Structure 1
Amino acid sequence: MKNPWLHLNYDLESGSLDISHEDAAIRNAQIGLQIDGEWICLDGPADDWVETGFKDEVGDGWEITSLHRLGGVHVKPRIRLYRERPSVTLCLTIENNGEDSIRIGRVHALEVSTRRGGRLELGGMISSARIFLESNNLCWTGVRPISEAGGRHRSGGVGVIYNPAVKIAFLTGFLTVNVALGEIVTLYDHMSGIAGWWAENPYDDLVLRPGEALRTELLYIDFRRDPLDALETYGDMLAKMNNIRRIPRSRTPMLWCSWYSHRLTITEEAVLKHADIIAERFKEYGVDLLQIDFGWNWRDTPGEWRPHPERFPHGLRWLADRLKEKGLKLGLWIAPFYIGEQSSFYREHPECLLRNPSTGRAVEYRWAWSGQSRDTWQNVALMDTSKPESQRWLKETFKRLSSWGVSYFKLDFLNGGSAAPLAFAKPGAENEYRVREGEQMRIGLSAIREAVGRDAYLLGCNLPISHGLGLLSAIFGAEDVGNATGNFEHLKRRMTTLISRFWQQKRLWHVDPDVLYLGGRFLKPGEVSSIGEARIRATAVALSGGPVLLGDDLTTLPEERMRMYTLCLPPYGVPARPIDLFRSPYPSVWDLEVSADWDVWHVVGLFNFDGQERIIDLDFDELGLSSDGEYSVWEFWDQAFLGNHRGKIKVEVPGRTAMALAIRRLRRHPFVISTSFHITQGGVELQRVMWDERSLVLSGVCRRVRGAAGEIFIYIPPSYRLEEQREAEMLTGEIARLRLSIPSPEVKWKIRFSHS
């Protein structure tokens, strides 16, 4: 089978699979699986096969299905080659047609081993290749040289090997997570190159009784020139295969979160004070929700989801009503699968606690937080979500919370719903509930989603993130951002993870960047971070394309930092692309294409987390700009004109800060080069900007909240000069500034020029 990009050959005698691309190939790949502890490779003749056409959610093409009889077990590989894509999918159906139960362990949907004559060929100079690794949780996700970590790499759900020498990206990833969490494993050594590679589903001795069948997770294989394009295409495939609709730009939450500013000191009085500030300062930007984090529930006890009587004496329904009077909504943090030993559910439903099959004891962790009263320190057990009583309790709990007026839920510690009993079992122990990690997690999330409805917002935190596909509205994009303490290594690591998931943003869900925190240490009123750290945090949140969460104590935050929030509001709602993801030690160039009704330009975030100045060479062709064109460059934070450039620009980025460049095509007449209102520099706040050559007038509309003030910066070519007028002045020989005060949400402006 072949299409314009790939040639696929499946040898029915040896069971080997070859997939050839112009500059890459998989040679003599095999399918293997573990049944009752024995490893079996499908390297013998197929007992039967059929070739036909197919059409699925993403396209059509050719399909071959073969049958391998292993005694009473029938294994049916199904391989599909798409007609209009450089892509292949593969899955197995394992049928137990025998008289006894069998156990399915690891399944290699496809593997390449040099010891068995297999080869993964990705062109010459493979030692320069870089590999994308997805943790599938809050831990580091990003790209590293393939030779690092001893050459052994394990990636959750999806992996990409990119060889820059021949510009070929090899992506493999699983499109379903019905039962098992797929992993992509790559082995490299400097002598033989890629010595081994496989795509694995760990089923942990899943029991198949007589007459039962298992369909493995669907593996996707793709060859492309651009690794970023490969990731984005994989995101599109995931969305289509899981019936996930793309989220519109306009649907991007804006809210205040209590955790970093208050932690367990949060009270209804503090919430109402912040509601007043939100209503006065930020509501017109679109901030309309206050999310109370851990600290609102009875005795800080997971599983006891009723208000803390001292901190919230009037209850949360009363509080939601007070917020509603101000045009605001209430959101809540909750750890739905953790059950504290001081809770009534723990006492009344011991049968619903997840237990170690070897000992019969509940699986428990210690729950003791700084600021938490010692008499509330306790163990927390994990809920067994497969129990009908657990599902009933989850539904009742979330229906009650919804009845209070809550429609935004931050679901934390969801890994508690993902611990399968067999993770603790002795080899061969029976799995009483016959669920794997994915099923356990999804059973619980499905019960919650059913209770709150499709319109409620569910943010998932601390979970194998692919388990939330189709059920969660958002995932927590990286480890906690933390209070601002000058820990730039931490910021580098978590911002790398955040932007490495750009391809998920709005395709699968919102990737939540965590709060925008501009203050200083916890409980240090009025203290602020360094200006460089604040710029890093604000630029990253704005360019992530995700929700914007205000995270400070707004009653003490200095005015300069309050205004800094507005530079990210409302969010543009489109993620930047980390164009140096596959070549730099960490992604430091984040490119956002901004499209308005009057122009298209690029906003490029340049990040330097290190202590020394860094020089970044920015090639315009990497932004999709013409190499022959001339472009004007403006830096947002320092309001500096960096000149007109062709092909590229060399930028000196000071240590431990971020820059935000607006790059616009140079024109022969005066044009807007930037504004001070928003980090997109015109993408959110300016509309209907027009140049009239007959009257020599540049005009437009500025949309901001009442009382705002700022500047619009204009580039003036040598053949024009600014006419004298109020509120407009020359800054340099090329740049003019128009000062604007905003008495109403929409202000018309114009500037007159003459020929010089």
Structure 2
Amino acid sequence: MKKAVASGSYEVNGKRLERFSRRESGRAILFRTVQPEGIEITVTVRRRRGRSGGLEISHRIANRSKRELVLGACQPFSIEFSSSDPAEVRLFLNSGNPDNTCVARAGARPPFPKNSIRWLPADAERLVHTGMDFMLAFDPESRQALICHALTFQSDSPFFTCPAPRPGETGLRLELRGDYRGFRLKPGERLEGDRYLVRRGRDPFRLLEEMADELARANRTRLPRETLWGWCSWYSRAQEINRRYVIDSARLMQKRLGGRGRPLVLVDHGWQAARGTLGRHEQSDRRFPGGMKRLAGEIRALGGRPAIWFSPVRYNGASPFLKAHPEAALREARSDEALKYRERPDENGQASYFLDPTHPQTRREVVRCLERFSGWGYDYVKADYVEIPDWFAYRHHDRRTAANGPVNRALFETIYPAARRLEMRVLACITFNDRLAGLKDDQRVAHDTNPAAGPGHLAAMATTVFSRYFYHRRLQHNDPDCLCLTGRPPKKPEMSEGEARLRTLVVFLSGGTILLGDDPALVPEERFDLFRRCLPVFGRTGRPLDLFEADGVPAVHRLEVPDYGDGRVLAAFTNFTGQPRTFRLEAAAPDLRRPAAGLELFSGREFRLEAGESSVTVPPLDAALYLLVPELGHPWLTGTDRHWTGGFKGVVDRLAWEPAGRVLRFRFRNLFKHPEARFWIQWPKGYRPAGVRTSGAAAAWEAGGVLRLARPSISENIQISFKTGEVQKDV
């Protein structure tokens, strides 16, 4: 692979430099040029040791002259990827919008998500795929994959490009491109570029997962252990919230869940003064008598964890801060006017503006907000409306952060250290995942899960969640946005049962934060049970096995449950189309030992999986979730209906078979007030159940070897004794 790496070109003072000498030194290759004008550029390619291997690439620009240098676009390196059919190579990339992660065929034409393709001036007649921060190429025929990604984001604004292949070509070329437009290098100064990693492998999923691990190590990421759950105010009332509604919702959540656990209570956009005006973070209004400090205290008294929303860089023009410090606004490059948010006015119909994240006054304002929230009693903050425009088109205070990557980081380099000092947890909302490595705890990975949105929007939301699975618990805790289980008439009819299951499965497979987005008073018990069965949070994320083959939303997912060491696996199937879809069950569990007991968790249907193929048909806008457990030759627990995993150590622990006494033991941890619970028990020929003992719950057998417990306690010890002899499962 070292021979496939080539140096590129740099633009300095309007001149393109592209002739580099090459020198090998041990495990490294140095590409270097020294110009008469005093410009020295070095690109270093170093082979890494260890299991992960790969090539680490860095670059440096030094000004050896006595005059200032003006930098421009650059292409530090390119690398070749061979394939028998380059047009069919899959390109996985993060497009120019934080909401869009997509897979495209290298030879395919539009449409693709916004900003995922472009025509570069140097090759105007040729389609060029573009990925921010990383790009993965995968050849499904040869099962070869190549990934290029940034490790750090201190100076560059990286994007990777791959020109679509022309007829007859036998390979692709992936190039790293950057842009230092407007960056001025003073005499004697040196610019250290960021570090990049290039790796090959046969498993594209593993390459993505290892990329997240590498990013976490390079940026010293330290995540909280706990993945959170709770309730958010936004989708039920938007800005029409008040103290009474928040307190009633928090109290009802605790009542319906048995008052156990510590749910997050996220007071979203709308609490600010003047009915939720952007930038009015200094206080609330009469809708919250006693202020936000009183509200936080009441939430804590109910057993909840108070969380608060704020907008760190988008402020209303009438906000006290912007009136006092107009110089902190981001400026148009040509007119020097304050940058107005063009997409739409804020929710009060007023104009809003972007603050300059690099300006000292903006930094001070952000820290003041966090200190104020902490003083009120909030230890979780959601930083929203941080979608960064094309910073090159604007003037900002610190020109050394002209590149897009550093400007994205500049804001959170202010937020995160202050939040850590104040012992607050940070959720970054709608911004780039990679560029904030080490500067957030949680991150939104989905479009809004608006309950009034149609199937197309729901499919786009699911795509962003599934295609970012590899970040979870490596770079961040993934936040799939809220779980909304009821419609919002008259905009949308009552949500169907299938769509409610589909939304639940998307959030559950994310492994991340689980926040109910509905008014708890309006959620029927059977719908609330979909949310309850997500708790406690499992924390592991499903792998979308058809990520590189799916033309739409990935539909086949695998989630391993290693808690009991019996090889059990969850197979999930989603259908976002208007027609039924049929899948092979083996697609999600090709290595499952057979025979195996199967359980469809949404319907409770039990079956036995033997040799041969099994098909699964999922209705339109619906989902199916299968628990598959290999038969062990002795009685064993297949699963329970009280959690979407079918059971893990947070729900069922102390699972053991005692062959001497022929006893199956386990404990059911009823942490969230389930009024009853069912357990599917498997036993081979030659065994029959003889008796059941519990800690007090009434137990009864149902057809199919199902043990039902009525009114289980918070900790229910269950002991099932067996005798030898033939017996039917309809005991």
So what's the TM-score if we normalise by structure 1? 0.87
Q: Please point out which of 245, 248, 272 is paired with 1:297.
A: 272
Q: Which residue of 1 aligns with 2:147?
A: 171
Distance 1:156 1:70 in 2: 30
SS of aligned partner of 1:330 = strand
Q: Report deviation, 1:484.
A: 4.7
Task: Tell me the amino acid that sits aligned with residue 135 of structure 1.
Answer: S
Q: Which residue of 1 aligns with 2:522?
A: 556
Q: What's the CA shift string for 1:422-480, capped at 9, x where partnerless?
A: 4147xxxx987442233333333222223322531111112233332211112110211
> For this pair of structures, how many residues does the alignment match?
695
Q: Report deviation, 1:341.
A: 1.1
SS of aligned partner of 2:244 = helix
Q: Which residue of 1 aligns with 2:684?
A: 717
Q: Please point out which of 433, 436, 447 is paired with 1:479.
A: 447
Query: Is the contact between residue 617 and residue 648 of structure 1 (CA under 8 Å) also seen in structure 2?
Result: yes
Q: Which residue of 2 aligns with 1:569?
A: 535
Task: Tell me the amino acid that sits aligned with residue 244 of structure 2.
Answer: E
Query: Is the contact between residue 64 and residue 80 of structure 1 (CA under 8 Å) also seen in structure 2?
Result: yes
Q: What's the CA shift string for 1:83-106, capped at 9, x where partnerless?
A: 233410111110011122112222
Q: Which residue of 1 aligns with 2:85?
A: 125
SS of aligned partner of 2:503 = helix
- Structure 1 gaps of 5+ residues are 1-5, 9-17, 20-25, 53-61, 113-119
Query: After the TM superposition, which of the residue ranges 588-597 and 571-580 deviates more from structure 2?
Result: 588-597
Distance 1:723 1:311 in 2: 61
Task: Tell me the amino acid that sits aligned with residue 276 of structure 1.
Answer: R
Distance 2:644 2:333 in 1: 55
Q: Which residue of 1 aligns with 2:574?
A: 607
Q: Please point out which of 352, 377, 380 is paired with 1:405.
A: 377
SS of aligned partner of 1:364 = coil
Task: Tell me the amino acid that sits aligned with residue 322 of structure 2.
Answer: Y
Q: Which residue of 1 aligns with 2:430?
A: 462
Inter-CA distance 129–283: structure 2 relative to 1 (3 Å threshold): farther
Q: Which residue of 2 aligns with 1:330?
A: 306
Query: Is the contact between residue 597 and residue 688 of structure 1 (CA under 8 Å) also seen in structure 2?
Result: no
- Give identity over the alignment, percent: 27
Q: Which residue of 1 aligns with 2:178?
A: 201
Q: Which residue of 2 aligns with 1:184?
A: 160
Q: Which residue of 2 aligns with 1:545?
A: 511
Q: Which residue of 2 aligns with 1:509?
A: 476
Q: Please point out which of 276, 279, 283 is paired with 2:251.
A: 276
Q: Report deviation, 1:393.
A: 2.0
The residue correspondences of 1:133-532 to structure 2 (distance < 5 A) are 133-135=93-95, 137-149=97-109, 152-191=128-167, 192-194=169-171, 196-245=173-222, 248=225, 251-282=226-257, 284=259, 286-299=261-274, 300-365=276-341, 372=347, 376-416=348-388, 420=391, 422-424=392-394, 433-436=399-402, 437-453=404-420, 455-485=423-453, 487-521=454-488, 528-532=494-498
Task: Tell me the amino acid that sits aligned with residue 591 of structure 2.
Answer: L
Q: Which residue of 2 aligns with 1:13?
A: none
Query: After the TM superposition, which of the residue ranges 147-156 and 221-230 deviates more from structure 2?
Result: 147-156
Distance 1:216 1:399 in 2: 34
Query: Is the contact between residue 244 and residue 508 of structure 1 (CA under 8 Å) also seen in structure 2?
Result: yes
Query: Is the contact between residue 723 and residue 752 of structure 1 (CA under 8 Å) also seen in structure 2?
Result: yes
SS of aligned partner of 1:619 = helix
SS of aligned partner of 2:257 = helix
Q: Which residue of 2 aligns with 1:57?
A: none
Q: What's the CA shift string for 1:185-229, capped at 9, x where partnerless?
A: 111235025454311122223211111111222121110001001
Q: Report deviation, 1:564.
A: 1.5
Q: Please point out which of 651, 655, 661 is paired with 1:689.
A: 655
Q: Which residue of 1 aligns with 2:122?
A: none
Q: Report deviation, 1:498.
A: 0.8
Distance 2:350 2:442 in 1: 30
Q: Residue 664 in 1 paired to residue 629 in 2?
A: yes
Query: After the TM superposition, which of the residue ranges 595-604 and 181-190 deviates more from structure 2?
Result: 595-604
Q: Which residue of 2 aligns with 1:677?
A: 642
Distance 1:649 1:41 in 2: 58
Q: Report deviation, 1:663.
A: 1.3
Q: What's the CA shift string for 1:328-357, capped at 9, x where partnerless?
A: 221111111112111111111111111123
Query: Is the contact between residue 32 and residue 41 of structure 2 (CA under 8 Å) also seen in structure 1?
Result: yes
Query: Is the contact between residue 617 and residue 649 of structure 1 (CA under 8 Å) also seen in structure 2?
Result: yes
Q: Which residue of 2 aligns with 1:701?
A: 667
Inter-CA distance 171–285: structure 2 relative to 1 (3 Å threshold): farther
Q: Report deviation, 1:364.
A: 1.0
Task: Tell me the amino acid that sits aligned with residue 393 of structure 2.
Answer: A
So what's the TM-score if we normalise by structure 2? 0.90
Distance 1:738 1:167 in 2: 46
Query: After the TM superposition, which of the residue ranges 258-267 and 327-336 deviates more from structure 2?
Result: 327-336
Query: Is the contact between residue 698 and residue 751 of structure 1 (CA under 8 Å) also seen in structure 2?
Result: yes
Inter-CA distance 532–583: structure 2 relative to 1 (3 Å threshold): same
Distance 2:549 2:210 in 1: 20
Q: Which residue of 2 aligns with 1:3?
A: none
Q: Residue 109 in 1 paired to residue 83 in 2?
A: no
Distance 2:397 2:688 in 1: 80
Query: Is the contact between residue 86 and residue 224 of structure 1 (CA under 8 Å) also seen in structure 2?
Result: no
Q: What's the CA shift string for 1:478-511, capped at 9, x where partnerless?
A: 21111155x2222222211111111111100111
Task: Tell me the amino acid that sits aligned with residue 397 of structure 1.
Answer: C
Inter-CA distance 109–66: structure 2 relative to 1 (3 Å threshold): closer
Distance 1:647 1:499 in 2: 29
Q: Which residue of 1 aligns with 2:729?
A: none
Q: What's the CA shift string for 1:604-662, capped at 9, x where partnerless?
A: 21111112221112436x64725x64322211001112321347532222221111111
Q: Report deviation, 1:419.
A: 5.0
Inter-CA distance 156–642: structure 2 relative to 1 (3 Å threshold): farther
Query: Is the contact between residue 356 and residue 397 of structure 2 (CA under 8 Å) also seen in structure 1?
Result: no
The residue correspondences of 1:571-586 to structure 2 (distance < 5 A) are 571-585=537-551, 586=553
Task: Tell me the amino acid that sits aligned with residue 729 of structure 1.
Answer: W
SS of aligned partner of 2:333 = coil
Distance 1:578 1:674 in 2: 23
Distance 1:625 1:663 in 2: 11
Q: What's the CA shift string for 1:539-581, capped at 9, x where partnerless?
A: 1111111111111100121111112111101110011111111
Distance 1:177 1:277 in 2: 44
Query: Is the contact between residue 106 and residue 165 of structure 2 (CA under 8 Å) also seen in structure 1?
Result: no
Task: Tell me the amino acid that sits aligned with residue 642 of structure 2.
Answer: F
Q: Which residue of 1 aligns with 2:10?
A: 33
Query: Is the contact between residue 352 and residue 387 of structure 1 (CA under 8 Å) also seen in structure 2?
Result: yes
Query: After the TM superposition, which of the residue ranges 128-137 and 512-521 deviates more from structure 2?
Result: 128-137
Inter-CA distance 208–706: structure 2 relative to 1 (3 Å threshold): closer
Inter-CA distance 229–450: structure 2 relative to 1 (3 Å threshold): closer
- Structure 2 gaps of 5+ residues are 111-126, 693-697, 727-731
SS of aligned partner of 1:234 = helix
SS of aligned partner of 2:212 = helix
Distance 2:582 2:465 in 1: 23
SS of aligned partner of 1:727 = strand
Distance 2:516 2:261 in 1: 12
Query: Is the contact between residue 138 and residue 478 of structure 1 (CA under 8 Å) also seen in structure 2?
Result: no
Task: Tell me the amino acid that sits aligned with residue 537 of structure 1.
Answer: R
Distance 2:490 2:303 in 1: 29
Query: Is the contact between residue 595 and residue 608 of structure 2 (CA under 8 Å) also seen in structure 1?
Result: no
Distance 1:506 1:283 in 2: 28
Q: Report deviation, 1:247.
A: 5.1
